[in-house]
Structures are given as C-alpha cells and as structure tokens.
Amino acid sequence: MRVIHLIKATGIAGAEKHILDLLPGLRRNEIDARLWILEEPGNPMTLYEKAAAERRIPTRRFTIYGDADISLYPRLSRRLHHAKPDILHTHLLHADLFGIPSARMAKVPKIVTTRHNIDAFRRRSPIRQINRYLWQKVDAGISVSQAVARFSIEEEGAPAEIQHVVLHGIEAPPLGEDRMGIRHELGLNDDQVVIGMVGRLTEQKGVRYGLQAFARVIPGFTTVQLVVVGDGPLCGELKREAVSLGINDHVHFLGWREHAERTMRAFDIFLMPSLWEGFGIVLLEAMGRELPVVASRVDAIPEIVREGETGFLVAARNVKDLQQRLSRLLADAGLRMKMGRAGRKVVETEFTISRMVENTLEVYRQA
C-alpha cells in the first residue's frame, strides 16, 4: 500500500514531528509511506526534508504561492496521478484545501485527513463552510484526541461515523542525557530549580500567564529560573512583559531550537498554561523526561496529564492557581520526583509509537 502524507510546513512543530515519528513505523509495516511538503517562497523546508531523509522517508517539496494559489491544484493532481498512491493522508488546513480536491481529480482511491488542533479560525466563515464541503470528500478522519474529535464533529460538521481517535506516541527518551552539561550551556547553575516552557510564542500557548505566575513565585523561591524555548509573533511583547514584571534576571528566552526536547533535560518542572490545546506532543516529551507538569485544564490536556499523579491542572488564565501549584512543586523535591516518574510510566505504557502506528494502520484498513 502506498500512502502519501501531505502537509504545509513553516517549521518543525507538533504536526511535523508527528509525521516524522509515524512514517518510519508505517514503512516498517510494509507501507510505502512518503512525505510531500508544501512550502512558502523564501522559507524552504530544507531542515524538515533533512530530518525526513535521516529517517529514510522519501520526500518531495512543492512551493505554494499564497493561500489562493490555484496553480497548485493541477501541479498536485499531476504528481498524484503519476505517483498512484492508494491513500492521500492530509495534515493541517492547506493540505486539506489543496490536497483533497487534487486527490479527487487524480482519482486517488482513498483520502484520510488528520486534525491536530482545535483551531478557532475553523469556526469562522468561509473556512467553516469549506471544511464542511471537504469532509464530504474524505473517507476517514483521524483526531489526535477526544477533544479534537468533538470539535471536528460539532464545529466542522465532520461525519461522526468516519471519525477515529489516534493518540500521539513518542519514543520515551533515554534518561542518561548530560543534565549538568546542558545547564551549563544555558548559563544555569546546578543548584537552581528550573521551570521550563516549550512552544510557539502565540496567544494559544498562554505564556503571558506563565510569566505572571512566575513573578509571584520568585519572592518565596529567589533562585528559581524560568526557561522559555520557542519563537513566534509574541516574542518581543513577552520579553517586554518580563521586564515590566521585574523578572528579566530570572527568565531566559532561548528562541527556536532544532532539538528543543534536549533542552528539557535542564528543567525540573514543565509549565504549559495553554488557552486551548488539541494535544500537545511536548507534554509527552516532558513527561518522558520525568518532569512533573503544571498545565491548563483545557481540551486534550486532561487526556494526557493525570491530576495529582503526573502533575497539576488549573483553569486557563488562572494566575493564582498556577502560582500555587508551581510553589508546591518548588517546595517539594520528593513530589517532583514522584510525579515525574509516574509521568514517564504513563508515556511508556499509553503513548507509544507502536500503538500510534497500529491504530493508524487500522484506519487505513477501514477507510
């Protein structure tokens, strides 16, 4: 069976990482899985292509000239007709908009689409109407969480009978990484307790609320440090917020890092104050490194984080509760260790790549 995965990429974030984890597993199960990347002019996805090549994933790149690039339809359709896949598997909005009609024109037998997030823009016209139309052209839909599946059905009009939930999985990382060496690279001392956040600096991630909670924590824990890994449109604004809160000496904005997950080994606590979240692979990466989690009780996060067992959940935007939960973990190294170990066990038993691959294969069989 030949399956082509199509995604528009501007970097390597959650959905892109998911594909890099999924496709090698599919290929080990005798699926001819390939990756086609839509990229913007001036932003070539060479790093993503390189990461795919390292995993022996055949890759092709296509330039997309804006959101209304109608020239992409015949280009994709011709390539699909030549490649003759059994399934086109789309990821994210642009792959849906351009891939699904192109696959139908090329007479691709089956189309599968994966929803990775709960995107507010999908509620708005005309995207809402376009998605309702596209769902009628799809043979199977995959959601990365129960929360995303509910959103797809209720907000996009996705047919419930073709929906499948396939949870993300990761390879639990080795625990022998050089924690002290990584800390020294970042300018952190061995005896400092470090809280970390990793993700795009966008409104969705709620980083401003994390900064505000952190500012309240410092008086009781004067050596605590906060590391923020990621870049995005709010980067400058958030740096100014740290200055205005008087916490600039305690906060380290590292920007985008190719191997952000390695940086997590320097953390003691993982903080994720998101306002909405379709899944959050970064949570698995943190839990796999035995980090206790403080996160928002929104959407899919409670499907991953076990309240009181692997971390704490608080209402979104609740700075006071964030501060209280962080303070509790900062004050109790034993609790941090206990929750961290429980989190790794959850990852090793419930969020594995092998389970994700097998569940995806079952969707292909049923499509």
pTM of the shown model: 0.89
Name the domain count of the chain: 2
Q: Please give the pLDDT value at position 175.
A: 86
**26 and 129 share a domain?**
yes
**41 and 144 share a domain?**
yes
Q: Which residues are paired to 336 by β-bridges?
A: none
**339 and 240 share a domain?**
yes
Q: What mean pLDDT comes out for the span 147-156?
A: 94
List Cα–Cα distances, 111 to 10, 85, 250, 366, in angstroms.
23, 10, 49, 12
Residue pair 252/227 in contact by the 8 Å Cβ criterion? yes
How many residues are given for the chain?
367
Least confident segment among 124-138, 196-210, 277-291:
124-138
The distance in angstroms from the start CA to the end CA of the chain is 13
**211 and 341 share a domain?**
yes
Q: Please give the pLDDT value at position 260.
A: 86
Q: Which is more confidently placed, 11 or 284?
A: 284
Label each residue of 81-141 as H, E or C: HHHCCCEEEEECHHHHHHHHHHHHHCCCCEEEEEECCCCHHHHCCCHHHHHHHHHCCCCEE
List Cα–Cα distances, 17 to 13, 116, 353, in angstroms.
6, 11, 12
**233 and 296 share a domain?**
yes
pLDDT, tens only, 88-145: 999 999 999 999 999 999 999 999 999 999 977 777 778 888 999 999 999 999 999 9
**155 and 248 share a domain?**
no
Angle of helix 146-156 versus helix 127-135 axis, rounded to 10: 100
Q: For position 327, which CATH number holds?
A: 3.40.50.2000
DSSP 172: P
Cα 72 → chain centroid: 26
DSSP 266: G
Q: Which is more confidently placed, 323 or 262?
A: 323
**153 and 268 share a domain?**
no
**190 and 250 share a domain?**
yes
Name the residue range of residue 233's domain.
Answer: 179-350
